[in-house]
A = this chain, B = another copy of it.
Amino acid sequence: MQRRFSRAALLAASPLLAAVPFLAAPAQAAPTEGSGVAWEIVEGLTTEIGARLAGSPEEGQARLWAEAKLNALGFQNVKIEPFKTLAWKRGEERAKLTAPYTQTLAIAALGLSAPTPAKGIQAEMVYFPTLDALKAAPEGSLKGKVAFVDHAMRAAQDGSGYGPYGDVRRRGPSIASQKGAAAIVIRSAGTDSHRNPHTGVTVFAKDVAAIPAGAVSNPDADLIARIAKRGKPMKIDLTLLGKPFPDAPSGNVIADLPGRDPSLPKIVLACHLDSWDLATGAIDDASGCGIVTAAALAAQKDGKTLRTIRVLWAGNEEMGVTGGGSKAYAEMHGNEPHAVAMESDFGADKVWQFRLTLAESNKALGEKIKAALWPMGIVHHDGAATGGADVSGIIARQELAVVDLGQDGMHYFDLHHTPDDTLDKVDPAALQQNVDAWTAVLKVIANEPGEIARVPGSKGEG
């Protein structure tokens, strides 16, 4: 880098500038600051707690932080509700190609994957362009080898690429294990082009042995693809020392804004408090907690709402495959009347559409919601509203009505589950737009005097 060129160029071009001392320069490149309850929550959680992996001491600290914050904001009946959960903790991790060329790879182990031996695995790596190609590999053909699985995830307005492409992460390792693979490496389920691996949970099928599994960043996957194209056999040296921990301590935090008639079925709004461990969980999911909590309060501005609004900051959403905050909430509160469940777990980009799961008898309620969102340019989309992972338990148990506020997903998977999930990625104006949309909906549903009926078949994401 021609650093002296730049200094010379600066001095040659701007003699006046050369004489101005840099004392006057701004102290730091301050990112856009926000204000208001939602921003305070996102800023506070990411700055004062940071990474808060499910089942970890940090997630426990986050619960205490949440309890204090919700009390300070004026919520009632603020409770930490502990539960045990299957968790997983990251260990040392590193990977490098050793043939045909030596190349260090940016890698992150997947949640619930098994550790390699302490000295790692050194083995041939076999390239599969897609998950289907891996599925087609003969049984046992990968014995003693490492599978590499590629894919072509693209950004989509509604984030729907995550479903199919995310399967490489969720199911690829189990399939590779069935083929006898010693380990699997995948291209990250992400839409960015940075040296950030995207972690996330993987699920081994019943009776399938867990194997080491990691995701490399997109530029590293591009590199592997180029090398595969050269047709030369690849070798990898892979060390992933993370491992599962059963019966780890997790918990939910719940808090209420009691309505004028607290006996009416309540509105429950969820987000998740745990985060992945590579960063501070700003978009995933401190933003969600900021949004639902700020909106619950804002809905009270013209006076208490008729119905109670409860916020649920759930534990272990990220790895709760055998039982996380959703299951615990449904077990503990499944006998209390709920009317509607909603969840915010898709970052802080703007809301642009909504979906409804409402009974036939609540058509008029649906029209009121539509009218409340219309001035914000938020449009109705057909199809069931499903809430999210944290309310899937209570929705299924009570066949609840659901409202989904769908956010712009074009950039979410650039950051999702990476080291880049930090506060500077949150646009305060977009965050506030979410709060406004949620507030508009809450003013309608939390003040609905008539019955909000069950919806037979409503089962959330399940």
Enumerate chain A interface residues (CB-CB to B < 8 A). 1-13, 21-23, 25-31, 43, 46-51, 58, 100-104, 106, 129-132, 150-154, 158-164, 166, 170, 187, 193-196, 200, 218-219, 221-223, 225-227, 279-280, 284-285, 317-318, 343, 345-346, 355, 381-384, 386-389, 392, 404, 406, 416-420, 422-425, 460-462
Contact = CB atoms under 8 A, between A and B. Distances in A.
A2 B388 contact: yes
Contacts of A404: 5
10 contacts: A1-B346, A3-B170, A9-B160, A9-B355, A28-B151, A50-B101, A50-B103, A194-B196, A195-B279, A222-B423
Nearest to A412: B1
Contacts of A227: 47
Contacts of A21: 132
Contacts of A12: 382-384
Contacts of A384: 8, 12
A98 to B, nearest CB: 12
A420 B193 CA distance: 8
Contacts of A343: 2
Contacts of A195: 196, 279, 418-420, 422
Nearest to A279: B195
A167 to B, nearest CB: 9
Contacts of A170: 3
A404 B6 CA distance: 12
Nearest to A192: B194
A309 to B, nearest CB: 20
Contacts of A417: 1
